[in-house]
Structures are given as C-alpha cells and as structure tokens.
A and B are shown apart, each in its own frame.
Chain A
Amino acid sequence: MYSINPENASNFVAGVDLAFFIILGVSIFFLVAITAAMIIFIRKYNREKHPEAIQNEGSTKLEIIWTVIPLLIVLVMFYFGWMGWKPMKTPPEDAMRVKAIARMWNFKFEYENGKLTDSLYVPLNQPVILDLVALDVLHSLYIPAFRVKEDMVPGNIKQMWFIPGQVGSYDLFCTEYCGLEHSYMYTGVHVMHEDEFDEWLKDTTAVAPVVAEDASPADRGFQVLVKNGCNACHSSDGSKLVGPSYLGNWGNMRKVTAGGEKTEVLFDKEYIRKSIYDPNAEIADGFNKGLMLSYEGLVSEEEIELIIEYIRSLNE
C-alpha cells in the first residue's frame, strides 16, 4: 500500500502509517535480535562444543527488566495507535453527508440532493461523512487507500468520515463476510476537484444507467434487473442461486409458504409484484426467508411491468 498509494490520499493516512511503522520497526528489531540470540546459543553451546551445561535457575533482576521495558514499549505503541485513531471519531460539523447503503451484494450512495450512484464520488479536500446503512446483514465499508473501515450494522446507522487529499480513483470493498457474492461486493471512490464535483452533483440523470427507450419491453425489463442488482440472487438460465431462477415458472403453479402454511399460487403478474414489494409474504419452496428485501420505492410499478415482460419472454 505504502508505495503505490499517495501518502495524503486521506487525512488519516499519516496517523495510521506512523503507528504502523513504529510497531513494525520495533517488532522487526525484537524478532531479529531474539532469533539471532537463539541461533548464536544453538551454535555456541552445541553439545559437542559445550558438553556440560552451566545451571542457572533464573534472575529476578532480569525478569523485572524484561517485564518493565516491554511494558513501556507496548504502552508507547498503544499511544500511537490511539492518537491515529482518535480523529476518526470526531468529524467536523460542516461536512458533506452521503448516505452509503449496503445490501447483498452492492453499495449505493445517496447524496443530499437525492442523486443515487453505484460508486462514491467526493470532492477534493472537503470533509465527507458517510451515514452507513445496512439493509440485510452485516457489511463493512473499507477504503484501503484512505485507511478507513467501519462495519455496517442493520438497524444501527453509524458514521464514518474522511477528507480526500488526492484526485483519483480508489478501491472500496465490503470486508465483513456477507454471503455468496461477498467478494464481488466492491466498487470505487472517485475524488474530483471541487468545481468538477459540483457540476457532477447537479446532474441527477447522468449516472443512472439509461435504458434505451426504443428497446423491447423485455430488454428494458432486464435492464431494470441489472440496475437493481437482482441478478446477484436470481439467474435467467434455471440455475439455483440464493433465490429461484426467473426461468420456467411463468404460468405454472408455485409451491410457497404463506403465513406458515404451505400452499400453491399461480406464478402470475400479481405474484411477481408481491414477490418484489413484499417478498416475505410468500416464500418460494426450497428458499429462505429474510434474504430478499422489499423493493417498494426502489422499483416502480412501471418497472415491474417491464420485469414481468422479461420473465415472460424467457418462456418463449
């Protein structure tokens, strides 16, 4: 990290790296010194050269020395760790706020003006506070170049903040294991000059993937699925992922559990609509409740029509 990422990628890099290098330096010193001592003793006091051991039961003085000195050293290490960490918990008041929303298995970022993006855009040298929202399970938002990480806990909105110090693009990972596609839950952070960023922020249409108006309804339906990350859990080719495949159910009877009872319902428009807005009302047999979250407010009625067109088209 230390060579390829700029030293001032964020305001925390210096504090974290200082603590890291101090501890690393001391550790390497002790590792080398003790290992060397061991190797020297093994050679020098080898039984062939040194047939008779010189007994020595110990020394209180030495015990005290090697308790107290390491204790002082680790307290210094602790101090640097603490000092590097403290500013992470004290965000400035006037920071720009962005809501970071995690769900299996993508991030979404919502700006104060309602703009919604898949990756994070931030202005250079401006403090940014991220409000961390997890919708389903634990996730963790990690930007290695910035040295920041905070777990995202459902039901508990936490904050993290930083000041980006260098224009460029950086990786952003989910580091708390969150199921099947955990390792694909990453995106980017883009740091822009402030005026550029302001231009970008004003334009609330540019980043949302444009669905060509002239595409067929089924194709546009597929775009809706892509845009909302549905395909992380659902396949179009019949293979079983975390959720059932879109393929081969349309118009058939579907075995479900509704309100604890096993029943069968027709896989039709109404069923699909309900599956998207209230997924836990009818649980498809062989799948687990609680994994899919409601998309009410995220997927519009018109978009559901397009999804239905797409699912129906798979039967042809």
Chain B
Amino acid sequence: MSENKQHDAQKSYLEETGGRKGIFKWILSTDHKRIGLLYLYSIMSWFFIGVTLGVLMKLELIAPGITIMGAQSYNATFTVHGVIMIFLIVIPGLPAVFGNFMLPIQIGAKDVAFPKLNLLSWYIYIAGSILVVSSLFAGGGPPDTGWTFYAPYSFKTGTNMLPAVLGAFVLGFSSILTGLNFLVTIHRLRAPGMTWLKMPVFPWTLYGTAWIQLLATPIVGITLLMVIGERIFNIGFFDPAKGGDPILYQHLFWIYSHPAVYIMILPAMGAISEIIPTFARKTIFGYRAIIVSTLAIAFVGYFVWGHHMFTSGMSGTALFTFSILTFIVAIPSAIKVFNWVSTMHQGSISADVPFLWAASFIFVFMIGGLTGLILGALAVNVHVHDTAFVVGHFHFIVFGGTGFAFFGALHYWFPKIYGRMYDRAWAKTGWIIFFIGFITLYGPMFYLGIRGMPRRYFDYLPDYHGPNIISSLGALVMVTGFVIIVINLFKSARSGEKAEMNPWGGTNLEWRIPSPPPLENFDEIPTIDKATYKYD
C-alpha cells in the first residue's frame, strides 16, 4: 500500500461530526468506529452494575447466615448479575466493540457492509438492555430464576421475569444482525489482494463467531418465546402436569447457550492472536492451524450442549457421545495455546501492558479449560455438577478468557482508538492487582465445589466458611485493580500523551493509518500483497 502519505491534514473520525452536535454526534452516526465506541460505553456501564452485583454477592457469602441481604435479594442478585453479564456484556462484548471498530480497518474497508443496520443493531441492543434492567424495578420484584430460566420454576415464580426474558429475546436480534453484517462485510469488502489466507486472525474469529450468532441465536429466541407463551397462556410445553417436559427446555436452552460460550471466546482468542505477534515482533506460529482450529471450535461447539445436563437423566448413549465430544472440542483450544506459546519462542518480546494481559489470559484460560476436562468426565461431573466448582470454571473461561482478552484488546487498540497513550505504570499496577484478585476470588471455588458446596447458595454450612472468606477478599482486591485500570484509561482518553500511528510496531492495516483514524479509514483503499504478521 501507499505508506507515507501526508495524513496530518485529514480530520480524525472523532473530529468529523457530520454537522451533528453533542450526543447526536454519537447516536446518529453510522460510522463503524463511533458505533464500536457506543457499544464500549454501554457495555462498560452495564459492566459496572454487573460487577457491583457480583461484589454484593461475595459480601453476602463472606459469612454464613444473613450478612448484608436476605435470600430473596440474593437470588435476584445472582439472576440479574448473570443476565447482565451474559446477555448484555460477554455475548456482544468483543465483536460489538472491537469487531465494529477494527474489522473494517483490518480488512481494508471504509465501513461495514450495512452501516445503517449496524446502528440499528445498537438501538436494538439498548432496547433489549433497558427491558432487562427494567425487570429490576417494575412488577413483582427482580427475577429470581438464575440466568438459565429453568422450567418449571421460571413460570411458577411470582417475580418479574417476563421483561428479562423478553429483553434477552430482543438482544438476540441485535446479535443476529451484527453477525449478518460482519459475514457480508468479510465476504464482500476485503481490500484487493486480501485473500482469505492473508486475513488477520481477529477477522477470522469474528467470521466464525458470526456464523454462530446467525445460526444458534434463533434457537434461544424460540425457546424464550416458548417461556413467554408458557407464562402468559399456560400452554404447557415444559409442564409435566400438562404433558410437557421440563428437560426439553434445558435442551433448547443449551443448544444455544453452549455455542454462545464460543461467541464469547472466539473473538477473545482472535484478539490474543493479534497481541502476541506484535509484542514478540514475530510472525504468528501456525497461522493455518489457528484458523482451522477456530472453525473447528465453531463447528464442534454445536454438538456438546448436553454436557450441561449430565445429571438430568439422558440415556447412556447420549451421555457417552456428549462427553467424548466435549473432550474433543478441547483440542482446538489446546492447539491455539501451543501456537501462541510457540510464537513467543525466539521472539523479541516486550512485556508491555497488552502483552501482560495476553500472557495472563493464556494462564487463566488454561485453568478454565483444564477444569472443563474435569467437568467433561462423566463420573467426576456427577460429583461436581451444580457446585461452586462449575462457577469457578466458567468464571475462569468467561471472565478470565473473554474478560482478560477484552482488557488486553482495550489496552492494545486504545492508542489507535483515541490517539492517546495511557499511563503504562498505572496500567501495569492495575493489571497485577486485578490478576491476583481474580485468582484469589475464583480459585477457592474449585475447592469448595470439590468439597460439595452447591452453587446458587445464599447460605452455607460452617464447614465451607474458610474458602468463602478468601474468595470474598479476592473480590475486593480485584475490584481495586479494576478501578485503577478504568480511572487510568478514562483520564488518558482525555489527556494522555499523543500516540503515534504505530506505537507497538504492529503489522496489520490498523497500524498503517493515523491514530485516531480518519472518518473513512483509508484515503485510498490499500492493496495487500503480503501475508499478515510479516516482520521482514
């Protein structure tokens, strides 16, 4: 591409307002970069609520008996915490924020294929979120079913669960539309010369994710509609008294929600695959293996939902199949880990902030994955299913995986997005405190689960007290780290040092345009002639 153009004269997307003022610069703009930031700000706001609810739960569990709230409030708290975290944050998460911002740039396009649809998806997201959050305040009190809305409890409880379910249903549309948009963008808008195998890994993972969003989300849509029908019209799909089957609900729910785990984790893996080569100054090891394993995860991930139901009473054959597939789906993730670590081998590594997040991602993700193997083994699953062990496992995957990758990506692309650099010393301090807090918070849960403490327990037997204290203290440490990180980024976005075009020495297209990028990203669509991550 034509490298050394005079970019300085161009206005950045942040200055280019399209004649709109104040908040309208944002909520009426169809620029993919502004939409990405709209998602960033909305997701971050919900995240504050989700974290606060999580901390309240940990405070409640610091001692047996009522500590700061009663059982009903606790049940509502873990439900709303789960719904917000899963449906409002980790599912949209990386694709909506960094996918929107970086995907067109990384493939050399001016915008996504359907910019207006893209903005509409954000509005749908906001509408769904508001519905979900309204369940907190209106009607018979916040929902208390757990984020899984298991039948038949979910249509017996007197709490206000309809808005939450309806909200999740609406959010599904946002997810489908974003997926569709990305699919078309990747198929149609790659710059000349960017063949599939020259495409960076992050767009590849968005591609795998988009297929899951498109194909799996309708199933949860139907399921949630069935729950609504059940509650309003008493149809009886899931009610044994009327000839229905509560287990049918679980199947429908997990057919979506298991692949949804991969909606959360694939783009996270994509972001890590961007960060590691950049900071090792080395081309990614096993590019093709990483791509193939991405697609393998997206595919095999459809067939393992039954591992959430090993004790629900399925046939032996079904359990055999689900268990063996669960073990097999671990392999592509292992391949990725091996390739990332090999990328570091003989590199020229600068352990800067994004790299620290990426390396710690690998560590916590391995713990999440390996405890997943323990859960995947039928005999052991019988023992630890529905205990604190499961809670530890999925927090290591979803928060440790997606969350660490999100923070890594944020620190990696921050100078590109805002054209400013953050304070690296503070960022490192925040990271290490966060990391220690994270391990202290979720680590004891494995032990508690093995000792038999069931999950979703407002109160527990005194035997379980010790590890719960450690876990609760860990939560406080982690939140301290989180606050440092956020304050640092927030201040730096306004007044940080000006960032260069390519502060980390990255090779992909986003590092060849100004920071922050101009409205249309490229004044001339680049032609790609080199493979991605080339350092020679």
Contacts and interface: CB of A to CB of B under 8 A. Distances in A.
Interface in A152-171: 153-156, 158, 171
Given A46-B351, A63-B335, A81-B381, A138 B150 contact: yes
Contacts of B283: 55-57
Interface in B62-100: 71-72, 75
A130 interface: no
A70 to B, nearest CB: 5
Given A81-B323, A158-B313, A175-B387, A30 B370 contact: yes
A252 interface: no
Contacts of A177: 75, 145-146, 150, 153, 455-456
A200 interface: no
A137 B374 CA distance: 28
Interface residues of B, number: 87
A54 interface: yes
A171 B126 CA distance: 45
Contacts of A144: 383, 451-452
A78 interface: yes
Contacts of A16: 379-380, 382-383
Nearest to B244: A155
Interface string B375-417: 0111111110111000000000000000000000000000000
Contact of A71 (B145, B328, B379): B328
Contacts of A281: none
A41 B454 contact: no
Contact of B457 (A42, A47, A63, A182): A182
Given A20-B374, A63-B335, A84 B380 contact: yes
A1 interface: yes
A183 B71 contact: yes
B480 interface: no
Contacts of A8: none
A89 B318 CA distance: 13
A34 interface: yes
B331 A70 contact: yes
B157 A179 contact: yes
B444 to A, nearest CB: 14
B380 A50 contact: no
Contacts of B54: none
B323 A82 contact: yes
A37 B338 CA distance: 10
B157 to A, nearest CB: 7
B454 A142 contact: yes
A81 B380 contact: yes
A12 to B, nearest CB: 8
Contacts of B311: 140, 149-151
B17 interface: no
Interface in B220-246: 240-241, 245-246
A262 to B, nearest CB: 17
Interface in B115-150: 144-146, 150
Interface string B338-355: 110110111111110000
B460 A183 contact: yes
B382 A149 contact: yes
Interface string A127-151: 0000000001110101011011111
A75 B173 CA distance: 38
A292 B525 CA distance: 67
Interface in A79-133: 80-86, 88-89
Contact of B379 (A35, A55, A84, A242): A84
B288 interface: yes
A295 interface: no
Interface stretch (A270-278, A283-291, A303-311): A283-291
Contacts of A89: 316
Contacts of B386: 140, 142, 149, 175-176
A74 B373 contact: yes
Interface of B: 71-72, 75, 144-146, 150, 152-153, 155-158, 240-241, 245-247, 280-283, 285-289, 311-313, 316, 319-320, 323-324, 327-328, 330-331, 334-335, 337-339, 341-342, 344-351, 359, 362-363, 366-367, 370-371, 373-374, 376-383, 385-387, 450-452, 454-461, 535-536
14 contacts: A34-B341, A38-B363, A45-B347, A50-B346, A53-B280, A56-B346, A57-B285, A62-B338, A81-B380, A81-B381, A85-B319, A138-B153, A153-B247, A290-B152
Interface of A: 1-2, 12, 15-16, 19-20, 23-24, 27, 30-31, 34-35, 37-38, 41-42, 45-47, 50-59, 62-63, 66-67, 70-71, 74-75, 77-78, 80-86, 88-89, 136-138, 140, 142, 144-145, 147-151, 153-156, 158, 171, 173-184, 186, 242, 287-291
